[in-house]
Amino acid sequence: MPTHSAGVADVRSPIHLAPNAAKTFHDLSSLALERDDADRWLAEGPRADDLRHAARQVCALAFSGDHPDARRDVHHVLHRLYDLHLARPVPGMTRNQESVELLRLRKQIEQAWQAWEHNRIGDVPENLTPDAIGGAIKAMWRQHAGHNHPVFEFMRTEADRAQIIKYFTTDYALNMRFYDLIVLSLLGIDEDVRMEVAGNFWDEMGQGNAARTHVRLYRDLLDYLGIEDNPAAFVDALGWEGLGGYNLLLYFALNRREYFRSIGALAITELSDPDQYAKLIEGCRRVGIGTDRPSVLDYYSEHVEVDALHGDGWIDNVIVPVLRRYPDQARAVLEGAAMRLNTSKDYWDWQLAEMRLLGKSAPDAVATL
């Protein structure tokens, strides 16, 4: 089973990027997304072909050439493509949710990216019974290099206030989108697993208390810290590592064939949060965040309490019943868990590096985007 987040070591030939391929990929994808009808705009001249050729080269550089800037560019475009399906409904929205060309671009990116992700899964147990899956997921989690990641011990014992605030700004995107992920995980599922997933949704909704929804609790924390709620800026500040973890969960949720990997990935999310967030809360109190108003940390303290139950509940009441119905999907569940572990470690490695960099460059500064 995987114990690291790096890809399988190999020797690759250098990838030669055609002149302006990265710029072509960025410009054409951005302009198409901004048009009311991307398909009509891309059909003019060679734009559609140019975009496909540029995307192929940039994806090769990102996932075969191990080029972090290219990987970030690809993940940022993929994030925008996924957002077409999750954007808040407002007047004047584009028609691009149904765009054939943008769907083709999305599939082109997903194919290259998923090949890379699968290449670093490593070995997973074979032929597990449904009753053995919980132990296998927990063993995979505990043996992974991301388990007890040092970023959380750093925040508990060393990080200053600005560095911890930096963590909150980078953690924004997925925290604010988790409601949608739970909603998507409810679609089309079997009746015997609905109650567990609905319970997760009800907790996200503050159990009916508008002031206690998880989105509202996170916004309360941002307000307390004087951080402007600016989703676009928070996403733009992420490296490929943060975007990759975010995109993985959306990829699973938006592709019905990935359902079994999705429930494995969500199990890891529920299992890993409590211990990590307990360390974060301790670090916050050490630097004075929430000491005058403890309720501003309720987003994280609630996850410490609730996710301790959700982890086992998700395994026992979602994964096990599903695998009793489809026992041949145990491997897919474990693959989803492994992929979530790898992308989480990528993200935490990046967060720790960003916080340490902030401490070196401006030890007394207030964290900004």
Condensed to tens digits (0 to 9), the pLDDT of residues 232-250 reads 999 999 999 999 999 999 9
* Residue 368 falls inside a structural domain: no
* Residue 88 falls inside a structural domain: yes
Q: What is the pTM of this model?
A: 0.91
35 shares its domain with 159: no
Amino acid at 43: A
Buried b (16+ CB within 10 A) or exposed e, 174-184: bbbbbeebbeb
Domain endpoint, select from 72, 98, 119:
119
216 shares its domain with 335: yes
**Separation of alpha carbons 286 and 161, rounded Å:** 9
Q: Which helix H or strand E contains 33, and what residues bound it?
A: helix 21-34
104 shares its domain with 136: no
Tell how far CA 116 is from the center of its chain.
16
205 shares its domain with 341: yes
110 shares its domain with 157: no
Task: State residue 57's pLDDT score.
Answer: 96
* Residue 3 falls inside a structural domain: no
Q: Taking a C-beta distance cutoff of 8 angstroms, is the pair 123, 10 a contact?
A: no
Q: Taking a C-beta distance cutoff of 8 angstroms, is the pair 20, 53 a contact?
A: no
Say which residue the tokens 């690759």 belong to.
Answer: 12
Tally the C-alpha atoms within 13 A of residue 197's C-alpha that lie toward its C-beta: 24
Question: Quick one: tokens of 119?
Answer: 């290449």
Question: Quick one: tokens of 331?
Answer: 């491997």
137 shares its domain with 264: yes
111 shares its domain with 43: yes
Question: Quick one: tokens of 224?
Answer: 């307390």
Question: Quick one: tokens of 196?
Answer: 């567990």
| Structural domains counted in the chain | 2
Domain endpoint, select from 98, 119, 140:
119
**Separation of alpha carbons 122 and 8, rounded Å:** 8
* Residue 280 falls inside a structural domain: yes
Task: State residue 361's pLDDT score.
Answer: 64
Count of Cβ atoms closer than 10 Å to residue 315 Cβ: 23
298 shares its domain with 180: yes
3-state secondary structure of 46: coil
* Residue 66 falls inside a structural domain: yes
* Residue 300 falls inside a structural domain: yes
Q: Taking a C-beta distance cutoff of 8 angstroms, is the pair 130, 330 a contact?
A: yes
DSSP state for residue 9 in the 8-state scheme: P
Question: Quick one: tokens of 123?
Answer: 């070995």
Task: State residue 244's pLDDT score.
Answer: 97
232 shares its domain with 85: no
Q: Taking a C-beta distance cutoff of 8 angstroms, is the pair 20, 50 a contact?
A: no
* Residue 285 falls inside a structural domain: yes
* Residue 11 falls inside a structural domain: no
344 shares its domain with 241: yes
Domain that holds residue 179: 130-361
56 shares its domain with 138: no
CATH number at residue 333: 1.20.910.10
Q: Taking a C-beta distance cutoff of 8 angstroms, is the pair 37, 96 a contact?
A: yes
171 shares its domain with 310: yes
DSSP 258-291: GHHHHHHHHHHHHHHHHHHHHHHHHHHHHTTTTS
Low-confidence stretches of the chain (pLDDT beneath 70): 1-19, 307-308, 361-369
Question: Quick one: tokens of 334?
Answer: 């474990």
Question: Quick one: tokens of 89?
Answer: 């409904």
CA trace torsion 191, 196, 197, 199 (10° rounding): 120
